[in-house]
């Protein structure tokens, strides 16, 4: 029996073989113009908030058998940064604690609120995303002693120049040491508040 030979891309071949048994773990990473830190390492900064927009099959209600594809935004907190080594390239992934999209996310008076303390076991078996998929958000307490936080989208801070050019989304280099790349406006003791505008009640 003659065996058929196929010319598969090298990237696909290495992905099929799987990564090395050991992965590298980091507390900080720069990607997509954002600087991320894990929750444990962020100190007074708010660099651990993560959001992900994905196409998901959903229904209008439990009684509606019709399934449609819609965009759903997931919100979470970054717990670990891992870099998988596929011998010829590396793939960074984020491990996050995700808010429950059923009863842990709501919209109130135009603001998106997230409960980061309940129902996180919903994604306990699937906490990982590609780092290239992540966007950064900040969480601000809605009311004192409340489990709900207001979601604030983080602006890109111009960290694109710190990333090395790559030929594909998978050919990503190792995390950059971001400790020496502080910007002039970075001050851990400076409150995250805009001056010159009225407070929102």
Model confidence band, residue 184 (pLDDT cutoffs 50, 70, 90): very low
End-to-end alpha-carbon separation of the chain, Å?
76
* Segment 125-151 mean pLDDT: 87
Model confidence band, residue 61 (pLDDT cutoffs 50, 70, 90): low
pTM, 2 dp: 0.70
The tokens describing 128, both together, are 């990982």
pLDDT at 93 over 90: yes
Model confidence band, residue 113 (pLDDT cutoffs 50, 70, 90): very high
Show Cβ contacts of residue 171 under 8 Å, excluding neighbours closer than 6 positions: 11, 89
Task: Give the model's pLDDT for residue 92.
Answer: 93
Model confidence band, residue 187 (pLDDT cutoffs 50, 70, 90): very low
């Amino acid at each position: 029996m003659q065996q058929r030979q196929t010319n598969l891309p090298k990237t696909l071949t290495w992905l099929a073989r799987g990564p090395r048994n050991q992965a590298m773990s980091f507390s900080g990473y720069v990607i997509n113009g954002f600087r991320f830190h894990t929750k444990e390492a962020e100190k007074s900064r708010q660099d651990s908030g993560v959001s992900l927009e994905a196409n998901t099959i959903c229904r209008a209600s439990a009684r509606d058998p019709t399934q449609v594809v819609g965009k759903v935004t997931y919100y979470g907190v970054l717990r670990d940064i891992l870099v998988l080594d596929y011998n010829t390239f590396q793939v960074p992934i984020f491990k996050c604690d995700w808010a429950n999209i059923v009863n842990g996310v709501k919209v109130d008076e135009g603001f998106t609120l997230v409960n980061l303390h309940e129902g996180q076991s919903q994604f306990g078996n699937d906490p990982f995303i590609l780092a290239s998929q992540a966007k950064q958000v900040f969480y601000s307490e809605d009311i004192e002693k409340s489990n709900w936080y207001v979601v604030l989208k983080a602006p890109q801070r111009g960290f694109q120049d710190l990333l090395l050019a790559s030929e594909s989304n998978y050919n990503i280099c190792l995390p950059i040491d971001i400790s020496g790349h502080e910007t002039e406006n970075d001050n851990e003791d400076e409150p995250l508040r805009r001056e010159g505008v009225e407070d929102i009640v």
